[in-house]
Amino acid sequence: MLIEFRWVRGEYDRLPALAAELVSRRVSVLVAVGGDPSALAAKAATATIPIVFGSSDPVKSGLVASLNRPGGDVTVFNFMTPGVEPKRLGLLHELFPNTALFGALLNLEYPTAAEQTLELAEAARKVGRPVVFLNASTDAELDAAFASLVQQRAGGLVITSNPFIAGHVDQIVALAARYAMPTIYPLREFAMAGGLMSYGLSITEAYRQVGFYAARILNGVKPVDLPVMQSSKFELIINLKTANALGLTISNQMQLLADEVIE
């Protein structure tokens, strides 16, 4: 079996051309990961090749007719990320209840950025703390965002979910360490790389399920007979080594809530 990969590294305008290129290769199934932009490009490129993709809200984005019966030659893994960003802010506030200002890093080029902003603004209102929003869709903007947070004396940072940020794990963790910025991340990979803590979907488990569905289609199952898969495994990872380096104390209660504590 031959698997062909194409990467856009956050350059979403390249997606239609790369999807068309894969279709021209007469692949047996298309797997589109990285969110709705990849899925929409794949769906626009073919009406005959089965597609498996990941999405945070596949019905709202128009990718499927319904969760139970996606319709056509597509099926989907629902990443179900709405509501996760406020949970991250809540965990950060629990760790730093006296912090006067939090930061949130988003990629405004990503389609869900507006929804993430609204969710975090509402969560900030509930905890009674303001949040400053910073955009980063390039390496230079990442550096500028952290410098701005320090200038504004933010006491903690929420990193939102999007493919650009997920592709810059080492750079973002290094920036948080350089500026001594307590940060909560969307994926365990950040905490494993030295980030303070992460809360979010187990991306490894999610992609394993996407691969499982792709295999079923290759074995003859029609996508129309496969319901949308729902993500259910979310995990909290705490890196105590990083906490110690920042001079922070993580309560025993929070450690007990964690799925994994790195010591």
For residue range 10-39, what is the model confidence (pLDDT) as tens digits? 677 888 999 999 999 999 998 888 777 888
Three-class SS state of 197? strand
Task: Give the tens place of pLDDT for each residue, 121-172.
Answer: 999 999 999 999 999 988 899 999 999 999 999 999 999 988 888 889 999 9
In the chain, what percentage of residues exceed pLDDT 70? 92
Q: What is the number of domains present in the chain? A: 2
**Are residues 178 and 254 part of one domain?**
yes
**Are residues 187 and 254 part of one domain?**
yes
Task: Give the tens place of pLDDT for each residue, 91-107.
Answer: 999 999 999 999 999 99
Residues 109, 166, 227, 71, CA torsion sign: positive
Would you say residue 4 lies in a domain? no
Q: Which residue has the higher pLDDT, 168 or 74?
A: 168
**Are residues 178 and 255 part of one domain?**
yes
Q: What is the pLDDT of residue 71?
A: 65
φ/ψ (deg, to 5) at 49: -85, 130
pLDDT at 68 over 70: no
Q: What is the pLDDT of residue 8?
A: 78
Three-class SS state of 5? coil
- CATH number for the domain spanning 118: value is 3.40.50.2300
Q: What is the pLDDT of residue 73?
A: 72
Q: How far apart are the first and last CA of the chain?
A: 41
**Are residues 222 and 135 part of one domain?**
no
Would you say residue 5 lies in a domain? no
Q: How confident is the model at residue 207 (pLDDT cuts 50, 70, 90)?
A: confident
CA dist., res. 66 & res. 183, Å (int): 36
For residues 256 and 185, is the Cβ–Cβ distance under 8 A? no
**Are residues 247 and 119 part of one domain?**
yes
Would you say residue 33 lies in a domain? yes
Query: Please, what is the average pLDDT of the chain?
Result: 87
Which domain does 115 fall in, by range? 84-201+235-262
Summarize the confidence of residues 222-238 as an average pLDDT. Answer: 80
Summarize the confidence of residues 187-196 as an average pLDDT. Answer: 96
